[in-house]
């Protein structure tokens, strides 16, 4: 079984400060991992994805994430927060659920607030 745990349902930072959003996964096989962002009343947009090519993944809007197998983590970071980064962020994992079926499972999300 696969699961994704996001530590902290709400993170608040000052503009210009480091953003760190935590994600841990449990998986019996190497996972494919994703971070998505959601603005109010909209669908989700991909920030970045890990598919085993490189452990440090760079995404859009200055975000990056590092896959650490030993820690089963895939934390999202950004060196300097901008007001426009305020949104909800979701970590997700894809894993084979039998035959040719793949489940895409999400964490519960982290709401990022950026203070001026």
Partner 1 sequence: DGGITQSPKYLFRKEGQNVTLSCEQNLNHDAMYWYRQDPGQGLRLIYYSQIVNDFQKGDIAEGYSVSREKKESFPLTVTSAQKNPTAFYLCASIGKVSNTEAFFGQGTRLTVV
Query: With binding defined as CB under 8 A, does residue 51 bind partner 1?
Result: yes
Query: With binding defined as CB under 8 A, does residue 107 bind partner 1?
Result: yes
Query: With binding defined as CB under 8 A, does residue 55 bind partner 1?
Result: no
User: CA 85: distance to chain centroid?
Assistant: 14
Neighbours of 107 (CB within 10 A): 23
Report in angstroms how near the CB of residue 80 gets to partner 1 at its nearest: 25
Q: CA–CA distance from 82 to each of 24, 31, 78, 85 (Å)?
A: 25, 30, 9, 5
Phi, psi of 62 (to 5 degrees): 80, 5
Which residue number, 19 or 90, has a Cβ lying nearer to partner 1?
90
Query: With binding defined as CB under 8 A, does residue 17 bind partner 1?
Result: no
Query: With binding defined as CB under 8 A, does residue 96 bind partner 1?
Result: yes
Cα angle, residue 24 at apex, residues 87 and 83 outer, rounded to 5° = 20
Query: With binding defined as CB under 8 A, does residue 108 bind partner 1?
Result: yes
- Applying CB under 8 A, the residues found at the interface with partner 1 are 6, 9, 32, 34, 36, 41-46, 49, 51, 90, 92, 94, 96-97, 100-109
């Amino acid at each position: 079984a696969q699961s994704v745990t996001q530590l902290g349902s709400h993170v608040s930072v000052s503009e210009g400060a480091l953003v760190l959003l935590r994600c841990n996964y449990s998986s019996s096989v190497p996972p494919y991992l994703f971070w998505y962002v959601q603005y109010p009343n909209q669908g989700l947009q991909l920030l970045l994805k890990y598919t085993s090519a490189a452990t440090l993944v760079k995404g859009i809007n200055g975000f990056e994430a590092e896959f650490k197998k030993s820690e089963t983590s895939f934390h999202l970071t950004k060196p300097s927060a901008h007001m426009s980064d305020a949104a909800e962020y979701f970590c997700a994992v894809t894993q084979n659920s039998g035959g040719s079926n793949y489940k895409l499972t999400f964490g519960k999300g982290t709401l990022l607030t950026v203070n001026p």
